[in-house]
Every structure is written in C-alpha cells, then in structure tokens.
Amino acid sequence: MATDKDFRDLRTDYSWGALDEANVRQNPFELFGDWYEAYSKTDAIDSTAVTVSTVDEDGQPDSRIVLLKEIRKENFIFYTNHNSKKGRDLAKNPKVHLLFFWPEMERQIRIKGVATFMDENESRIYFDKRPFESRVAAAVSPQSSVVPNRDYLEEKFFSILKTKEENAAIEMPKNWGGVKVQPLEFEFWQGRISRLHDRLRFKRENGSWKIERLAP
C-alpha cells in the first residue's frame, strides 16, 4: 500500500472573524477569557484541551495534549505525574509552550511561559475532587514508563476497585500534582480570507503588556 499522500490542493478559506488591536482587550488574560467563553458555547469536545510543549535535555521538543483545569492569579494550571516525560522535562527546563487550537472559530492562542510545580497540599485539594476511577488510575499508572502490556495496568486498576468502595479515600501519589504556567507572552491568531491572517502578540514589558501585530 502506498504511503505517500499529497495534500497540497486542500483549501479552507477562513472567514469567521477578525482581530483588530484597536478594539481588543488590552490585557491578554481578559481577551483569553472572552475567546474561551465564546468557544465553550460551540459543540467542541474538551474545550479546555491544550497542547503542552517541553524540551528535553538533548534539546528535543516534545508535545502532548492535556486538559487545562484552572486559571488563577495569572497562572494556567494543569495536573500530571511529575515523573512523566513532561514532568521530567520541566524539572530540568521550566520553559514551556501552550497552544490552544479552536478550529470551530478559526482561532489559536500560543503562550510562552515558565512552569513551576504546585506543592503537595495544594495539589491534593484537586486530587480529592477527581472521580474515584480517575484517582485510582493516577495511583496505578507509572506515566510515560514502559509497561509489559495493558493487562498489567488493568490488573492493578481493578484490584484496587475490588478492594475499595466507591468514593473511598485514595492516597495521592507523591509524584503527582499540579503545574502552574506563568505566561510571559501571548499570541492570538484569527484565520482570515486568502491566508492574510490576523496575529496579535502580547509581550510583558516592565509590568505591563505591549501589543504588536505580526505578519501572517
């Protein structure tokens, strides 16, 4: 079977909206909030999905999608196993990139920032609110590690389910917790007709935000 594919003739013209620096919020967190509220009203699945990109010790970028759980005190927060690939990368290099892609509205938001790990007590507040099965999964999964097969994971998972009543206390793994990303730069992208897209960059300078238009 041939594996070559030619996508050069595929075309989508974007016409949903426009992005004008004269008429947008001057604070990128407020603009993000406006865009998210509009997007959350679409039929999108997992509207908080965000691509998190890190760089490992060899300089190799790595990306994966997680679910954003909170924006608090100008920090974007998600949760993960700190021994996972992303956790190990961030422990050595806290520079991180977030990408929200919202095709239903022909928009994307890119965020450059610096990550820090939340403390155990703060992370436990959210962990204890998670569904019972999700807490069990976090407890049994050595995220990003090689395992023999799926049966290995399911055996550990169901062994706990059989011995614990639903909503029973599950101890939060020591290596599990929140990651806070403090943005240093935002870029809001709005698709436009004929690929002449709108791109506005917000850069933090001397405690305030500077808005610049970028060529598409």
- Positions annotated as catalytic residues are 195
Greatest alpha-carbon pair distance for the chain in Å reads: 60
Task: Identify which of 50, 143, 144, 54 has the alpha carbon closest to the alpha carbon of residue 94.
Answer: 54
Helix (H, G, I), strand (E, B) or coil at 61: strand
Question: Any residues with CB less than 8 A from the CB of 94 and at least 6 apart, and which?
Answer: 114, 115, 116
Task: Identify which of 180, 149, 141, 201 has the alpha carbon closest to the alpha carbon of residue 21.
Answer: 201
d(CA 52, CA 10): 27
